Structure 1
């Protein structure tokens, strides 16, 4: 049979183990929260990069359109200049 002191020691050990497990669970919870925050920040950054890429694409399309218009105007101007050549 176990003595009262041995039972008390076993209970103390179990309480210490439970406290350690609780502390470990809290640390895991904090880590998961930090990972979630990092993931959210990464998602926000990715959305910002995507929005910037869309804006740049729109600008490139505008530049391309303007270049096409300028090319057409240059051809028309060349035709007009040739009419006035002597």
Structure 2
């Protein structure tokens, strides 16, 4: 089952909760490493890393993952 199928199985509220938990999970990792966290940032690398570190996030669609990643970069890195 791909992430789009998982995404469809989640209710709107469940997707919001998973997105929130992922953003919180990323917070300390990004703050600790700043911009280096995003240096090798492809979708496949992201999904592979999440599969071991935070598999719950793979329930989100690729678009939702990208939105959370962008939000984490905006919120937690210095410009």
> Whose RCO is larger (CA < 8 A, sep 6+)?
2
Shorter-chain TM-score above 0.5: no
TM normalised by structure 2 equals 0.28
Q: Which has the higher helix share?
A: 1
